[in-house]
């Protein structure tokens, strides 16, 4: 069967990564979480004194970009690739609230995006890739054969993120998460470089009232339509 490129974009905490990971596993495709890459750059910036509170020293980060190396290694326990920053495992750290509060500031920078997009395109060079993010169907892989744009209400998304963090033993308040979800939506949609927008040829899915199984089934049908004709 022909191998294709699958782009899954949408708002924060919609369940993009669950959907993308499950499909990649079924198809034997590579799964790339592009948000993890922006999160890793943000963690590096925080650890190297580029932030004073929420204030970012952009020039300091610009000069450090060449020292930031991000890679992924498949974790058989979770069935997902874990993120490594300069060969250090950072998968858990990059998901905490401190990083979430800063990542959209870092992801709005043109020099950060140029570098990340180039790496993402290299990951997908051979096709057979499922990538999730904000600009995969518009900027990274505008020619992807299957493009999904995922959304759900902010309250449902915040609830899902709250449960996810709680399951990992990370403390966070629902109200803080909801505020963060809305704040990131706003920054992601209004930034100048590659703002979050539905690609013209993307299919919209609101999964507010779908179970994971229902959304996976829906996605598999969409995939089959693309490869069977
Ligand atoms: O998991 P969640 O949807 O909350 O976010 P994520 O996918 O981990 O992405 C974290 C942040 O990185 C987003 O809020 C965006 O600001 C940024 N991002 C981006 O700008 N472009 C991408 N392709 C992926 C993420």
Task: Indicate which CATH number applies to the domain containing 132.
Answer: 3.40.50.300
Instruction: Show the DSSP H helices in 81-172 as ranges.
Output: 97-107, 110-123, 154-167
- Average per-residue pLDDT for the chain: 95
Ligand 1 midpoint to CA 26 (Å)? 24
What are the tens digits of pLDDT across the range 94-119?
999 999 999 999 999 999 999 999 99
The helix-helix angle for 174-190 and 154-167 (nearest 10°) equals 120
Q: What would the pLDDT profile of 10-38 be if each residue is shown by its tens digit?
A: 998 898 999 999 999 999 999 999 999 99
Q: Give percent above pLDDT 90 in the chain.
A: 91
Specify the 3-state DSSP secondary structure of 80: strand
Q: What is the whole-number distance in angstroms between the Cα of residue 38 and the centre of ligand 1?
A: 7
Q: Does residue 229 surpass a pLDDT of 70?
A: no
Tens digit of pLDDT for each residue in 171-193? 889 999 999 999 999 999 999 99
pLDDT value for 168 = 86
Total domain count for the chain?
1
For a ligand 1 pocket test, name from 99, 107, 120 the mutation site with the most ligand atoms within 8 angstroms of its C-beta: 107
Pocket of ligand 1 (CB under 6 A): 12-13, 16, 34-35, 38-39, 103-104, 107, 133-136, 184, 188
pLDDT (0 to 100) of residue 172:
87
The residue segments making up the domain with residue 199 are 5-228
CB 23 within 8 A of CB 219: yes
pTM, entire model = 0.92
């Amino acid at each position: 069967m022909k191998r294709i490129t699958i782009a899954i974009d949408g708002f924060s905490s919609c369940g993009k990564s669950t959907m993308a990971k499950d499909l990649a596993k079924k198809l034997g495709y590579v799964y790339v979480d592009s948000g993890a890459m922006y999160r890793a750059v943000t963690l590096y910036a925080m650890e190297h004194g580029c932030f004073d509170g929420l204030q970012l020293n952009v020039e300091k980060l610009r000069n450090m970009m060449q020292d930031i190396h991000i890679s992924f290694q498949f974790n058989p326990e979770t069935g997902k690739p874990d993120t490594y920053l300069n060969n250090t495992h950072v998968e858990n750290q990059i998901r905490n609230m401190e990083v979430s509060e800063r990542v959209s500031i870092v992801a709005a920078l043109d020099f950060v995006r140029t570098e990340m997009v180039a790496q993402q395109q290299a990951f997908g060079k051979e096709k057979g890739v499922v990538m999730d993010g904000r600009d995969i169907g518009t900027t990274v892989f505008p020619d992807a054969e299957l493009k999904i744009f995922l959304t759900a209400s902010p309250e449902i998304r915040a609830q899902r993120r709250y449960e996810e963090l709680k399951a990992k033993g990370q403390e966070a308040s629902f109200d803080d998460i909801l505020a963060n979800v809305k704040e990131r939506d706003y920054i992601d949609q209004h930034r100048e470089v590659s703002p979050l927008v539905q690609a013209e040829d993307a299919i919209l899915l609101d999964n507010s009232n779908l179970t994971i199984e229902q959304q996976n089934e829906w996605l598999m049908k969409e995939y089959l339509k693309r490869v069977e004709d």
